[in-house]
Amino acid sequence: MSASAVPQPVAPQAGPLSVPLRTLLLLARRNVRLHRLRSALSILGVVFGVAAVVAMSSVGEGARREALSQVAALGIDTLSVRPAPGPSAASGLVLADGESLRQVVPGTAAAAALREASLAAELGDRRSDVSVVGTIPEYARAATLNMATGRFVSDLDLVDSKRVAVLGATVTRRLFPLGDAVGQWLRLGDDWYRVVGILSERGSPRRRAGPIRTRDVDRTVFVPLPTLAAGPGQAPDAVDEIVLRVRDGRQVAVAAEVAQALLRRHHPGAAFGIVMPREILRQKARTQRIFNVVTGAIAAIGLLVGGIGIMNIMLATVAERTREIGVRRAVGATQADIAAQFLVESSLLTSLGGLIGALLGTGGSLAIQIWADWPTALSPLMLLAALLTACGVGIGFGMYPAWRAAQLTPMEALRSE
């Protein structure tokens, strides 16, 4: 028979997979284990990219949840009026402003003026530094306070200037760890007060610098407004803050404009700050979106670098395994089988990198929470999105090497070595 008559191997064309997926996974795992160092180096970009996504998203989610808890503590349908810091603060709010705001601001459900001071609360050998708030009965409605036992400050307490006190839950535990506090006496500063009520525990967020300043109700003692004197340099009827609660939270912005106009008329030249939790939450949400875009872009760069590294490694793998490809094609493997083999291998690499990155990101978020004292919260949705993105990088950047491997004909692959 002449040489020209020797039958040539026929390359199986593309078609459905003839190799089970389980076999492809076993082959991919074997190849990854044979080249451990190369595989580890190739997935570093994916590891750091996914870790950045998980860690930064946990920081953002923690900040979002803390903002929500602060807004919930203040009330989304409330606004607080305070004198702006500076020389004009001395000519700031007075008790009559609270009544004026109640009558003029549309949709007002409750309005309460208050004074605040830091005093030492003492009972026998037990002592605790607390925030003492002098206020009126309507503050319970304005700040949505709930009583665990006893009562809040009453109108009769104001008229008679009775020295009665309502304690937050944490103050109660510190000063009265063994018995019922209602009816007992404690010392606040230089005066004695009788406890008439205990507030339900609210679990107020920790104090932290930021645009939303919350009052930790659990660590506060409430007394009738007349029993807490105004601060030095202030008028006898001066107050530190007025809290308004409106019936419809959507009207908070309108209420704030009316309140600001009224106060300008009553106190020309004085400056006031109005805190609206609803508006602050919107501003924080906008800032959060910018933060997410920036961190997402940084993580995307890491994943892109990782994907390019994996593609380079897979191209090198195709080049050094051409004989294996030729043998497989010669014994019947289709183009789809060859492409699937390399695609599964690249997907396994990035999936492994994504899993390691997710673990590192989780550890990083815990480290931030412990050492930086910053609240973090893992979002299961973001964690899943990071893992799926890593898998997508493996498939996307593994397509070209897999296609190159599938295009090799048996004779071309066998001749290369």
CA distance 99 to 242: 10
Q: Is residue 108 part of a domain?
A: yes
Instruction: Say whether pLDDT at 165 is over 90.
Output: yes
Whether 240 and 160 share a structural domain: yes
pLDDT value of residue 1: 44
pLDDT band at 400 (very low <50, low <70, confident <90, very high): confident
Q: Is 402 helix (H, G, I), strand (E, B) or coil?
A: helix
Q: How far is the C-alpha of 359 from the C-alpha of 47, rounded, in Å?
A: 9
Together in a domain, 184 and 313: no
CB 135 within 8 A of CB 114: yes
Q: Tell me, what's the pLDDT at 413?
A: 55
Domain check: are 407 and 292 in the same one?
yes
240 & 288 share domain? no
Q: Beta strand pairing status for 126-135 and 108-123?
A: antiparallel
Average pLDDT over residues 221-239: 85
Does the pLDDT at position 71 exceed 80? Answer: no
Structure tokens at 217: 């109700």
Q: Which run of H or of E encompasses 210? A: none
The mean of the pLDDT values for the chain is 78
Of the two residues 416 and 102, the one the predictor is more confident about is: 102
Going by C-beta distance under 8 Å and a sequence separation of 6 or more, which residues neighbour residue 59?
A: 365, 368, 374, 376
With beta carbons less than 8 A apart as the criterion, state whether 236 and 167 touch: no
> Please, what's the largest Cα pairwise distance for the chain?
125
Q: Considering 248, 270, 292, which residue would you say is the last residue of a domain?
A: 270
Residue tagged 């009520």 (tokens): 197
Distance separating alpha carbons of residues 199 and 339, to the nearest angstrom: 68
State whether 23 and 151 are in the same domain. Answer: no
Give CB contacts under 8 A, 24+ apart, made by 104-108.
104/258, 104/262, 105/244, 105/246, 105/255, 105/258, 105/259, 105/262, 106/251, 106/254, 106/255, 106/258, 107/246, 107/247, 107/248, 107/251, 107/255, 108/244, 108/245, 108/246, 108/247, 108/255
Q: Residue 11's pLDDT is what?
A: 45
| Model pLDDT, residue 69 | 63
Choose the final residue of a domain: 270, 298, 323: 270
Give me the pLDDT at residue 60, please: 75
Inter-residue contact 198 to 188 (CB < 8 Å): no
Q: For 306-326, what is each residue's pLDDT tens digit?
A: 777 777 777 777 777 777 777
For 197, residues 6+ apart whose C-beta sits below 8 A from its C-beta are 147, 149, 150, 151, 152, 166, 167, 182
H or E element that contains 72: helix 44-74
Burial class of residue 25, CB neighbours in 10 A (0-12, 13-18, 19+): middle
Model pLDDT for residues 117-160, shown as the tens digit of each residue: 999 999 888 888 999 999 999 999 888 888 999 999 999 999 99
% the chain with pLDDT above 90:
18
**DSSP designation for 90:** G
What residues pair up with 145 in beta bridges, in sequence order? none
pTM over 0.75: no
Is 264 in the same domain as 289? no
> Would you state the pLDDT for residue 7?
47
pLDDT greater than 90 at residue 8: no
- For residue 213, pLDDT over 70 is answered with no
Total domains, the chain:
2
Grade residue 396 by pLDDT with cuts at 50, 70 and 90: confident
Query: Does residue 289 lie within any of the structural domains?
Result: yes
Tell me: pLDDT of 205 over 70. Answer: no
DSSP string, 122-178: EETTEEEEEEEEEE-TTHHHHTT--EEEE----HHHHHHT--EEEE-HHHHHHH-SS
pLDDT band at 278 (very low <50, low <70, confident <90, very high): low
CA distance 333 to 417: 19
Q: 324-361, pLDDT tens digit by residue?
A: 777 777 777 777 777 787 788 888 888 888 888 888 88
> Which residues does 246 contact at the CB level (< 8 Å), separation at least 6?
77, 78, 79, 105, 107, 108, 109, 252, 255
Is 152 a domain residue?
yes
At residue 153, the pLDDT reads: 94
d(CA 415, CA 280) in angstroms, rounded, equals 70
pLDDT by residue (tens digit) across 363-389? 888 888 888 777 787 777 777 877 787
Instruction: State the DSSP code for 91.
Output: G
Residue 233 DSSP SS3 = coil
pLDDT given at position 155: 93
pLDDT value at position 9? 46
- Pairwise CA distance, residues 28 & 347, whole Å: 9
**Residues 159 and 30 grouped into a single domain:** no
Residues 24 and 136 in one domain: no
User: Is 358 part of any domain?
Assistant: yes
Amino acid at 109: A
Q: What is the pLDDT of residues 21-47, one digit of tens each?
A: 777 778 778 877 777 777 777 777 778
Summarize the confidence of residues 206-230 as an average pLDDT: 74
Residues in the chain: 417
How far apart CA 275 and CA 288 sit, in angstroms, is 20
Q: Are residues 208 and 117 in the same domain?
A: yes
* Residue 276 falls inside a structural domain: no
Q: Does one domain contain both 355 and 254?
A: no
Given a cut of 50, is residue 211 above it in pLDDT? no
| Residues 283-298: tens digit of each pLDDT | 666 666 777 777 777 7
The string of pLDDT tens digits covering residues 258-273 is 888 898 888 887 888 8
Q: Is residue 264 part of a domain?
A: yes
pLDDT of residue 80: 84
Residue 145 lies in a domain: yes
Q: Is the pLDDT of residue 416 over 70?
A: no
400 touches 339 (CB < 8 A): no
Same domain, 205 and 90: yes
pLDDT of residue 193: 95
- Greater confidence (172 vs 284) lies with 172
Is the residue at 11 inside a domain? no
Q: Give the pLDDT of residue 12.
A: 45
User: Domain range spanning residue 187?
Assistant: 85-270
Question: How many other C-beta atoms can be found within 10 angstroms of the C-beta atom of residue 124?
Answer: 8
Choose one of 235, 270, 305: the last residue of a domain.
Answer: 270
Q: Same structural domain for residues 102 and 151?
A: yes
pLDDT band, residue 280 (cuts 50/70/90): low
